[in-house]
Structure 1
Amino acid sequence: MDAVPAAIAEALRRATDTGGHICVLTGAGMSAESGIPTFRGTHDSLWSRFDPMRLATAEAWREDPALVWGWYRWRMQLVRDAQPNAGHRALATLAQRVPLSLVTQNVDDLHERAGSLVDAHVHGSLFALRCFACGRAHAGSLDDYVGGMQRVEPMRCAACGDRIRPGVVWFGEALPDDAWSAATDAAMRCTLMLVVGTSGLVYPAAGLPALARRHGATVVEINPEPTALSAEVDHVWRATAAHGLPRFLG
């Protein structure tokens, strides 16, 4: 794991030498090394009895907005306390050297805090707050959060008075049109796609590597464990994001 595998290094060299475009698709494993648990990996005692897939819905919000907002405020605090890891920083540096589009399934802001421009947050962003009713973006600051609070009454919209919700894509909701358009465009025009830290289970984002291959790109998976995508890519490197990505910088 100390050096980039030869076949992957060659794919990177070809992409850069020919003026090709790199697309990087990142998932939860990208941020796990910064201490942010994966969506389904929350074992904190405060939330261990709740099913994340039940909380992350519009129905749960309508039923108990204070509980859902409390969960998201806890998650926001985890992100605020975390720092970008070496993998985040390596992608920001790589983008200064080669044409690169960054597409992420993560709802945190660690890529941006590492210095990257994110082309598409396909599952939204925790901090892109908006009104549940009218959709107006929330321009104010976050409310105060005290660790250990399970129920937090959401802030109110300055325009209509309804509750402010997190800017993530809940189960049953469509992906943001602009983000998805940017993601598919990046996949179709890249010559090399790096798939980093994603399980390949959540569609339609999990279909982006196949889209890239259909348009002639070489697809490389960087993940310490086998995934649903492993058999469908050109090259696999069993490395974590924080260990593997800095090796691309030479």
Structure 2
Amino acid sequence: MKNIVVLTGAGISAESGIKTFRDDNGLWEGHDVMKVASPKGFEENPALVLDFYNKRRKQLLEVEPNAAHYALKDLEKKYNVSIITQNVDDLHERAGSSNVIHLHGELLKVRSSFDKDLVLNWKKDLNLGDFCEFNSQLRPHIVWFGEEVPLLETAALEVQQADILLIIGTSMQVYPAAGLKDFAPSHCQMYFIDPQPAIRESQNLRIIKENASTGVKKLVESLLQN
């Protein structure tokens, strides 16, 4: 059974109604990104950071997976599928995908500020005074700017085993995630699905210039027929 590795970014979730956070002016929901997505921002104004993610969490619970998420789940009928996502939502899991690696953390989880390995499922608001068992403030389980990406090595090992690599809804211009495609073996066939691709086709790279919901569905149907 061949291995398919899927790299997904904000573009796949945007079609479910998830805002992509960063506007053209570099702000996230009107906030300086470093104020709401950095350890320093959390230290300086934890209430602002918690409120920011509480709003994102509420929004996530109001949306559903789209056709692209469900199509990727269907690939498991014929292939070993690993999904490596830069997204912090759980839409891949809700669509039924069984092997999902979250590079940047998960919005429906929180963790201890004292012990990063103490992670809890969390669907309600997270407030100041919500402490872990070590009497330390809980924080969003999100990889903030300036923090280590703990699952990057795991993701790279997955890409090294890929026979087919799908890149969906991400520009692959932001590192370190952008470097993952470079770990693909020489025989790996790559597909890049994006309405405004920032890269060119090559011998091993085919570009599908469509939104995720339509492009992924077409590609998956083709791969299941081969």
TM-score range, shorter chain: 0.7 to 0.9
Q: Aligned runs of 1:131-170 on 2, under 5 Å?
A: 131-135=112-116, 137-139=118-120, 141-144=122-125, 153-170=127-144
Q: Secondary structure at the match of 1:101?
A: strand
Normalised by the length of structure 1, the TM-score is 0.79
Verify: 1:222 aligned to 2:196, yes or no: no
Verify: 1:50 aligned to 2:50, yes or no: no
Report which of the two structures shows the higher radius of gyration computed on alpha carbons: 1
Equivalent in the alignment of 2:210: 239
Deviation of the 1:194 alpha carbon? 0.5
Gaps of 5+ in 2: none
Change in 2 beyond 3 A, CA 1:162/1:193: same
2:65–2:95 CA contact under 8 A, matched in 1: yes
Q: Distance in 1 between matches of 2:117 and 2:38?
A: 19
Q: Distance in 2 between matches of 1:78 and 1:123?
A: 18
1:104–1:118 CA contact under 8 A, matched in 2: no
Deviation of the 1:130 alpha carbon? 0.4
**Identity across matched positions, percent:** 37
Deviation of the 1:101 alpha carbon? 1.2
Deviation of the 1:48 alpha carbon? 4.3
Change in 2 beyond 3 A, CA 1:56/1:22: same
Pick aligned residue for 1:121 from 102, 119, 137: 102
Change in 2 beyond 3 A, CA 1:103/1:222: same
1:39–1:52 CA contact under 8 A, matched in 2: no
Equivalent in the alignment of 1:112: 93
Deviation of the 1:136 alpha carbon? 5.2
1:42–1:48 CA contact under 8 A, matched in 2: no
Query: Partner letter of residue 168 of structure 1?
Result: I
Change in 2 beyond 3 A, CA 1:88/1:59: same
Query: Partner letter of residue 197 of structure 1?
Result: G
Change in 2 beyond 3 A, CA 1:216/1:39: farther
Pick aligned residue for 1:86 from 63, 67, 78: 67
Change in 2 beyond 3 A, CA 1:161/1:216: same
Once the two structures are superposed, residues 111-135 of structure 1 have per-residue CA deviations (whole angstroms, 9 ceiling, x without a partner) of: 0000012331111111221011233
Q: Distance in 2 between matches of 1:53 and 1:158?
A: 25
Change in 2 beyond 3 A, CA 1:205/1:139: closer
Q: Aligned runs of 1:173-192 on 2, under 5 Å?
A: 173-176=147-150, 179-192=151-164
2:113–2:139 CA contact under 8 A, matched in 1: yes
Task: Give RMSD over aligned pairs.
Answer: 2.2
Q: Distance in 2 between matches of 1:55 and 1:65?
A: 9
Q: Secondary structure at the match of 2:77?
A: coil
Change in 2 beyond 3 A, CA 1:192/1:42: same
Verify: 1:69 aligned to 2:53, yes or no: no
Query: Partner letter of residue 168 of structure 2?
Result: V
Once the two structures are superposed, residues 122-165 of structure 1 have per-residue CA deviations (whole angstroms, 9 ceiling, x without a partner) of: 11111221011233535475444xxxxxxx73352231222111
Query: Partner letter of residue 40 of structure 2?
Result: E
Equivalent in the alignment of 2:3: 21
